[in-house]
Structure 1
Amino acid sequence: MNVTIRLTGLLVILLIGVVLGLQTAERGIYKVSGLPEQQTQTFSIKKIDNGQMEIAVMGKQVQARAPGQMVNYMSSAGQSIGQVVKAGTKITVEWIASIFEP
């Protein structure tokens, strides 16, 4: 009987802790990304008409001649670094394979 009461008490405390943890995590997510009813504050894209788009980054409007002509410098830098890593890995693997050739 005593063990059952202790186990039930521990399970109730655990359940309360899980519920409080989920509520705290949800509030933290809302602080970072905003409430679900609001537009995101960091980045938003609205399709207006005729393929035109309105793009806002950190609340500031970004104008572009055409959406396809926008340059994402971080993306192009990441792609070039990826190509360098890929080429370096290929050279290293070929060099190690040449050591073990008969």
Structure 2
Amino acid sequence: MNVTVRLTGLLVVLLIGVVLGLQTAERGIHKVSGLPEQETQTFSIKKIDNGQMEIAVMGKEVQAAPGQIVNYVSTAGQTMGQAVKEGARAAIDWIARLFEP
């Protein structure tokens, strides 16, 4: 009986700690990114007339037509991928030349 009471007490304390931790984390997120009703300050997209869009990244505004949206992360990823492909191809060619008769 004594073990059951202690275990129940520990579980209640743990539950209270989890609830308080979640509330504290939510308040911290709201301090960093703003309230959910507000527009985010880090990234926002607005549609303008004639199919153009206005993109704001970290406060810097960029206007682009639908086919001209620049994704810097994608461009960097494609460049790195191409470099890895070329490096792997060069390494395989070098290893293949070692085994040529």
TM over 0.5: yes
Does the Cα contact within 8 Å between 2:43 and 2:56 map onto a contact in 1? yes
Q: Which runs of 5+ in 2 are unaligned?
A: none
Amino acid at match of 1:84: A
Question: Which aligned pairs between 1:1-12 and structure 2 lie closer than 5 A?
Answer: 1-12=1-12
Amino acid at match of 1:2: N
Give yes or no for the alignment of 1:21 onto 2:11: no
Q: What displacement does 1:73 show?
A: 4.9
Q: What displacement does 1:7 show?
A: 0.6
**% identical equivalent positions:** 80
Aligned length: 101
Query: Residue 76 of structure 1 corresponds to which residue in structure 2?
Result: 75
Amino acid at match of 1:68: G
Q: Which runs of 5+ in 1 are unaligned?
A: none
Query: Residue 92 of structure 1 corresponds to which residue in structure 2?
Result: 91
Query: Residue 45 of structure 1 corresponds to which residue in structure 2?
Result: 45
1:74–1:11 distance in 2 versus 1, CA, 3 Å: closer
Q: What displacement does 1:93 show?
A: 4.0
Amino acid at match of 2:53: M
1:89–1:7 distance in 2 versus 1, CA, 3 Å: same
Normalising by structure 2, we get a TM-score of 0.73
Alpha-carbon distance in 1 for matches of 2:51, 2:92: 46
Query: Residue 31 of structure 1 corresponds to which residue in structure 2?
Result: 31
Does the Cα contact within 8 Å between 2:41 and 2:59 map onto a contact in 1? yes
Q: What displacement does 1:35 show?
A: 1.5
Normalising by structure 1, we get a TM-score of 0.72
